[in-house]
Structure 1
Amino acid sequence: MMTKLAIDGGTPVRTAPFPAWPVHGEEEERLVLEVVRSGKWGGTAGRKMLSELETTFAAMHGAKHAVTLVNGTLGLTVALQSVGVGPGDEVIMPPYTFIATATSALLFGAIPVFVDVEPDTLLLNPELVEAAITPRTKAIVAVHLAGLPADMGRLKEIARRRGLRLIEDAAQGVGASRAGEPVGALGDVGSFSFQMGKNVTAGEGGIVLTNDDAVADMAWSLANVGRIRSGAWYQHEHIGWNLRMTELQAALALGQLSRFESQFARRERNAALLNELLAPIDGVSPARRPSEVERHAQHLYVFFLDDALATPENKAEAIRRLQAEGVPVAAGYVSLNRNRAVAADIRKWTGETRSYDCPVSERASDSRALWLHQNVLLAEERDMYDIRDAVRKVMASFA
C-alpha cells in the first residue's frame, strides 16, 4: 500500500533543509578585508583582485582574455556588441533559457530569433539552426543550460560556413567541458555570471572570455565608457558605459574559487547518483548527458515527467507533492517564444508581430521539466536517497 502523502497528512520523507547557499568562510573574509583596508574598492585604480580573477578565470577555461563586468546580462550585451551585432541584426538563440539571453540583445535593438531545443537535453538543437538563418542573421547564442555544454562543435561548423558569430551564454557553465574543451571561449566570446545563485557568486557580477584580441579590446572598451587600453583617461574612442565590476566583488569571487573544484566534484557525484536512483522510477527520467561531456557544471539538476504523465496539471501537482515531501523542486523557465514582454519588445524594434514554433521548449516549460538547484547537490550522498524516496512516493501517487 502506498505511503500517505505529506500533503494529505502523511509523514514527509524529509524535514531537514538542504545546504544553504552561498557557502562562505575565512577566505572570503580575508580577501574582502584586504580590499577594504587597501582603500581601492572600485574597478579602475589598483585592480589587484580583479586582475587576479580575470587571469584565474581565463586559465580555468582555456581563454586568452577575460573582462569582468557588472553582471552576466550586460556581459552578453557586451559580447554581442563586441563581435559587431547591431540594431536590427537577428540573433538565433534557444527559447528555454533565462530571459536575459533575449533581453541582452533587445537592450540595443538586436532581434532574438528562437530556435527549438533538443527534447532530452533542452540545449539548442543544431539540426534546426540553419532553417532559421536569414540575410539579417548576425550571430548564434549557444546556452549551456543547467551547466551542460551545448554542442559547440556542430554550432561552430554552422557559424563558420554561414559567416556568423558564435556567442556562449555560459552563465550556468563555470568549469564545464565537452569533447575535451572547456566552455567560454569555444566561440567568438562567452559570458558568465556571478549572480547570487550561481556556482561561483560575488552577489552580482560577470565576466566575458575570448581568444580574439580585437574582441577583447572592444569588450574592455564597452565596459570602460569607450576608453581604449593604451589611451588617456578622457580619450573615449567608442560609445561605452561604466560596466566595471568592483574589487570587493572580485574578492568574493576569488574566495569562492578556492573551494570550487571540491564543490564541482560533489555536485557531479551526487548528480550521477541521482541519475541512477531516478532512472528505474516509473513516471520520471533524468535529462540526457551526451557521452562527450566530461564536466557538467550541474548548476541545475534537470529531470522530466514521462510523456504519459506530462500535463500542466500533473506537473503542478507533482511539484506541490514533492515540495511537501521536503524536496525543493522547481518548475523551470517559461519558454521565451511565448513571453509577452519579449514579444512586445521585438514588435517595438521591428514593427512586426513575430511568432516562433518551439513545441519542445513549450512542452518542457508547461508539462515536462523539473529542476533541483545546485545547492541541493552539495548535500550528503544519503540525502540523494531521500530525493529518490520522495520522487518514488509521489510518482506512485499518480498510478
Structure 2
Amino acid sequence: MKKTEGYSRREFVRRGSLAGLSAVLTTGSPKLTLIKNSGIQKPAILGGQPAWEPAKWPKWPVWVPETDEKQLLEVIRSGVWSRASVVTQFEKEWANAVGAKRCLSVVNGTNALVVALNQLNVKAGNEVIVPPYTFISTVSSILSNGAMPVFVDVDPATFQMDPSKIEAKITPRTKAIMVVHILGLPSDMNAIMAIAKKHKLLVVEDACQAHLAEYNGQKVGTIGDAGCFSFQNSKNLPIGEGGAIVSNDDPFMDRCFSYSNLGTPYGTVVGAVGVGSIIQNTKVRFTEYQAAMGIAQLKRLDSQTTTRSNNAEYLKSQIKDIPGIAPYKLYDQVTRAAFHLFAFRYQKEAFKNLPRAGFLKALRAEGIPCSSGYTTLNTQPFLKDTFESVNYKKMYPKEMLDINTYNEHNKCPLNDKLCNEEAVWFTQNMLLGTKQDMTSIASAIQKVYKNAGEIKKLE
C-alpha cells in the first residue's frame, strides 16, 4: 500500500474520518462549524487561529442504527452467515444501481479485478495497458494472473490515463486495457473504447473509486467488458471490505461465479452432478452480514453522491482562480462524477516556491486534513520482485524481465510530477457539508497563499 506523507491513503482517510467522532450524522450531510472567517488573517502555522475545529469534520462511515441494523441483526441471529439470499439481494440491487445485467460480489475490490481478468483469459504472455496513477491493486491483479503491466502516462489536468498515448504502447502481446476511473472521476471512455475496438482489445474498468459515476449518462463499470468495484471502508459505499464484478455477459459472469466458488458448476459452466470442481479456481465468496451492511449503505449512496458532486463543483469554483491551484478537469462527456477524492494540482511557483509539503503542513494547521496522494507506482520494488520469481522467468524472455529496461520503456514523467510535486487530496467525507463549508475551505487555502512567503521561511 502506498504512503502519503508518512501514512497510507487508507490511514489518511481514517484519520480524516475519526476527527469527526463527535459529529451527529443522521442525514449524511452534517454542518461543519467555521471557527472564524479566515480571509487573509495570520495562518495557524504562524501563530494565528485555525480555520476549523478538527472535531467538526464529518465522521465516516455513516451508520444509523434506527434504519441500518434491522436486516443485519436478522442475519446475525439466523446463523446463516455464508453466501445465501441476502448476498443475492445485494447483487441484484447493485446491478440495478449501476445499470448492469449481472453482479457478482467478492471479498474485496482487488479480487474483483483478479477474477475478472482471469475469466477474460488474461494470462501469462499477455500485456495489459494500465495507468500509473492508481492504487497498487490495479497492477497486482495483472501480475496475479501472470500478465505484464504496461504503463501509459496521465493527463495531469484530469488525473486519468491519457488516451492519446495508448496506441504507442500496444504490441502483439497486448490483450486488454485496464481503465481506472481514479478519484471517482470518469476516464475518457469514448476514446478508449474506440482504440480497443480498433485493436480488438478487452476493456476492464477499475471503478473501485467511482460508485455511480457516469459517462454520457451511462454508469462507469458498464461500458467495457467488465467493471470492478470496491466496498472497502474508505469507499463511497463502505462495508469494511468487499468488492463486485458487473457485466452484461452471462457466460462470463457464470465463469466468474464458478471460479470464485471453488470451481463448482454454475449456469453455463456445467458439469456432471457429483463431479465436483470443473475449472481451476479460488474461494472469494461474500458473506450475508457484509451484504446486509451494503444494502443499508446503498439506500443513501445516490443522495450522498449528489451532495459530494455539488459541493465539489462549488469548491472548485471557489479555488480555481487562486494562483497556483489547478483543480481537476472533467471530460465533456462526464455527466456525473463520484468524488471519492477531491483533487487539485499545487504549483509552488505561485506560492513563493513553498514546497508542497509546506503547503500541506500549513493547511493541516488550519484543521483541514489533506494528503499528497499516490507515490509513483511504476517504479516500486514489487515489480522487480515479481520479475525475479521462478514463474515469471519461465513465462517471459529474459530481456522483458530486465527491470532497468522495463523502467525505461514505462517512464511516465507527467505522473512522476503529479505524484512527487503537485497532487493534493481532500477525502470524500469532507464534501458532505454545505456550500458555506466549501467557501471556508477555500478561504483557508487563500490564507496560505497570501502568507506563502512567511510560511516558506519556516521550511
TM range (shorter): over 0.9
The residue aligned with 1:107 is: 144
The residue aligned with 1:362 is: 416
The residue aligned with 1:10 is: 48
Q: Identity across aligned pairs (percent)?
A: 39
Q: Which moved more, 1:310-319 or 1:178-187?
A: 310-319
Q: Which has the larger radius of gyration?
A: 2
Q: 1:74 to 1:36 in 2, by over 3 A?
A: same
- After TM superposition, the structure 1 = structure 2 runs for residues 116-265 of structure 1, keeping only pairs within 5 Å, are 116-230=153-267, 232=273, 235-265=276-306
Deviation at 1:233, TM superposition (A): 6.6
* Structure 2, unpaired ranges of 5+: 1-38, 454-459
- After TM superposition, the structure 1 = structure 2 runs for residues 58-73 of structure 1, keeping only pairs within 5 Å, are 58-73=95-110
- Aligned equivalents of 1:336, 1:304: Cα separation in 2: 18
Q: 1:361 to 1:41 in 2, by over 3 A?
A: same
Q: 1:346 to 1:39 in 2, by over 3 A?
A: same
Deviation string, structure 1 residues 267-307 (Cα, Å, up to 9, x no partner): 01110110111012122121111222111001110111137
Q: 1:137 to 1:274 in 2, by over 3 A?
A: same
Q: Contact (CA 8 Å) 1:312, 1:366: kept in 2 or not?
A: no
Deviation at 1:27, TM superposition (A): 2.9
Deviation string, structure 1 residues 69-124 (Cα, Å, up to 9, x no partner): 00000100111111110123111100000011011111232111110011101111
Secondary structure of the residue aligned to 2:154 is coil
Deviation string, structure 1 residues 236-259 (Cα, Å, up to 9, x no partner): 111111100101001001000111
- Aligned equivalents of 1:357, 1:310: Cα separation in 2: 29
* Structure 1, unpaired ranges of 5+: none
Deviation string, structure 1 residues 330-358 (Cα, Å, up to 9, x no partner): 11001211222234324542532111111
RMSD: 1.8
- Aligned equivalents of 1:229, 1:134: Cα separation in 2: 35
Deviation at 1:380, TM superposition (A): 2.7
Secondary structure of the residue aligned to 1:308 is helix
**Which residue, out of 300, 308, 312, partners 1:267?**
308
- Aligned equivalents of 2:411, 2:101: Cα separation in 1: 38
What TM-score do the two structures reach when normalised by structure 1?
Answer: 0.95
- After TM superposition, the structure 1 = structure 2 runs for residues 18-29 of structure 1, keeping only pairs within 5 Å, are 18-25=57-64, 26-29=66-69
What TM-score do the two structures reach when normalised by structure 2?
Answer: 0.83
Aligned pairs, number: 396
Q: 1:288 to 1:307 in 2, by over 3 A?
A: farther
- Aligned equivalents of 2:189, 2:116: Cα separation in 1: 17
Is 1:324 aligned with 2:374? no
Amino acid at match of 1:159: A
The residue aligned with 2:94 is: 57
Q: Contact (CA 8 Å) 1:97, 1:143: kept in 2 or not?
A: yes
The residue aligned with 1:31 is: 71
**Which residue, out of 70, 77, 97, partners 2:114?**
77
